[in-house]
């Protein structure tokens, strides 16, 4: 038995934008600089190929090819910078799909969580989604492909709390396979310093609140242990 897969890009309304067929067409355009030759390689009509390109350009609001109608090479067609980036993005995800489909074992997902404490209080969010919907947790989330963990924690904090932060240090890395019921996740936990913004719940947070460190609510995941480690770190320094 062999795993097969196909994937494509959709817009925010779930409408098809870009997939394998158009990717191959644009690759042939990039190789030949000629749309007529490219559509012949795809075994489609010139009208059909040009129509597919125009349809995607209209949905994206960007040109993906440009054609010269004169000069030494009349009818020369090349990818625009945006079109080349679209091809590269598709190839990048194609490599990821291919890599994971051929791996003989599973790997954990990578997440980040942040500790923002002010005095004797700590900022927590009330989760608006499962798992642990309705319980409080440290703000954080999954690291996106192509993103550094440092950028991920800053982005997640801004999305969930409306605050800008800078990293003070790493508290620790938490990797227990059963820490998240959705699957094995490894979290890098940062101690952060608030640098701007106004606290406001966003993303999947129902609300956010600073809690006294001596009077914490029931917490999701292993965040009670994380906060205990944070308290022990600074108690030992005192």
State how far the Cα of 46 lies from the Cα of 77, in Å rounded to an integer. 13
Closest of 9, 19, 23, 11 to residue 59, by C-alpha: 11
Closest of 82, 71, 69 to residue 26, by C-alpha: 82
Distance, C-alpha 183 to centroid of its chain = 18
State how far the Cα of 116 lies from the Cα of 113, in Å rounded to an integer. 10
**Would you please indicate which residues are annotated as catalytic (active-site) residues?**
207
State how far the Cα of 52 lies from the Cα of 137, in Å rounded to an integer. 46
Closest of 213, 144, 122, 135 to residue 181, by C-alpha: 135
Question: DSSP E strands: which ranges in the chain?
Answer: 9-10, 16-18, 65-67, 77-79, 109-118, 121-127, 136-137, 140-142, 163-174, 185-197, 205-212
DSSP 3-state helix, strand, coil percentages of the chain (rounded to 5)? 35, 30, 35
Task: Name the token pair of 76.
Answer: 């020369």
Task: Name the token pair of 227.
Answer: 């906060």
Q: Which residue has the tokens 């947790």?
A: 137
């Amino acid at each position: 038995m062999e795993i097969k897969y196909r994937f494509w890009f959709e817009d925010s309304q779930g409408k098809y934008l870009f997939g394998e067929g158009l990717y191959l067409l644009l690759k042939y355009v990039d190789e030949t600089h000629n749309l007529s030759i490219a559509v012949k390689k795809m075994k489609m009509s010139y009208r059909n190929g040009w129509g597919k390109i125009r349809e995607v350009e209209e949905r994206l609001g960007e040109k993906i090819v440009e054609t010269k109608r004169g000069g030494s090479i009349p009818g020369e067609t090349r990818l625009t910078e945006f079109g080349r980036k679209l091809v590269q993005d598709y190839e990048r995800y194609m490599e990821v799909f291919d890599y994971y489909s051929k791996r003989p074992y599973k790997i954990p997902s990578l997440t980040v969580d942040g500790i923002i404490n002010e005095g004797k209080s700590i900022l927590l969010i009330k989760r608006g989604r499962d798992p642990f919907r309705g319980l409080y947790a440290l703000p954080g989330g999954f690291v996106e492909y192509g993103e550094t963990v440092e950028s991920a924690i800053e982005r997640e904090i801004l999305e969930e709390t409306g605050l800008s932060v800078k990293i003070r240090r790493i508290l620790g890395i938490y990797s227990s396979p059963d820490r998240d019921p959705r699957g094995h996740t490894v979290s890098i936990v940062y101690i952060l310093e608030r640098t701007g913004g106004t606290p406001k719940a966003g993303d999947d947070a129902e609300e956010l609140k600073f809690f006294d460190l001596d009077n914490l609510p029931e917490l999701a995941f292993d965040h009670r242990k994380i906060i205990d480690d944070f308290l022990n770190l600074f108690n030992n320094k005192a």
